[in-house]
Amino acid sequence: MQNYISKYMEIIAKNGIRNTKQKEYILLELISSSTHLTAEQIHQRVKERKIGLATIYRNLKLFESLGIVKEIPSGGTSYYELKLFARKPLHIHFKCLKCNCMTDMDDSEITMEYVRLNQKVEKKLGAEVMDADITLLGICSACKAKFK
């Protein structure tokens, strides 16, 4: 965990960008969260440490330009997930229609199927496909239990 942070900080330093505690706090929230977070959700979790929402947006955008973070737009807002050092370089997102939480679909068979799909598309269009946003919409297990 602390290990990850130092790797991210190294990348940041290597690009001539200053390491600040604000950047560290944001990255820590993304590392420790089991779900993907919106800028507002990150703000809720760090605002007691007097960090402005604008700083969070600025750094998320910065992290994205460095390839550290990926933005996932969904339903009027964006969720952010770590891209570098993530176990799953390409994967499928699952968004709950009840609680709006955004998580990864963790299933090797499904990811395999997705990789096949991506290969087909890349073969078909050449190098033109740069990225993919795949989000499945439904009810998460926590909400399923809650509303039963």
Give the binding site for its own copies (CB under 8 A): 73-76, 78, 92, 97, 105, 107, 109-110, 113-114, 116-117, 120-121, 124-125, 128-140, 144
In the complex with DNA, which residue's Cβ is closer, 46 or 82? 46
* Residues 67 and 84 sit within 8 Å (Cβ to Cβ): yes
Sign, CA torsion 51/84/142/77? positive
Q: For DNA, what does the binding mask look like between residues 38 and 77, x meaning CB under 7 A?
A: xxx---------xxxxxx-xxx-x-----------x--xx
Q: Are strands 37-38 and 77-82 parallel, antiparallel or unpaired?
A: antiparallel
* Residues 21 and 34 sit within 8 Å (Cβ to Cβ): no
Rounded CA gap, 126 and 117, in Å? 14
Report which of 90, 103, 89 is spatially closest to residue 136, judged by C-alpha positions.
Answer: 103
CB of 36 to DNA, least distance (A): 12
CB of 20 to its own copies, least distance (A): 26
133 part of the interface to DNA, by CB under 7 A: no
Q: For DNA, what does the binding mask look like between residues 80 and 119, x meaning CB under 7 A?
A: ----------------------------------------
Partner whose footprint covers residue 61, from its own copies, DNA, none (CB < 5 to 8 Å by kind): DNA
Looking up tokens 């991210």, which residue turns up? Answer: 8
Rounded CA gap, 101 and 132, in Å? 20
* Residues 102 and 72 sit within 8 Å (Cβ to Cβ): yes
Could you list the residues known to form a binding site for Zn(2+), using ranges.
96, 99, 140, 143
Residues that bind DNA (CB under 7 A): 13, 17-23, 38-40, 50-55, 57-59, 61, 73, 76-78
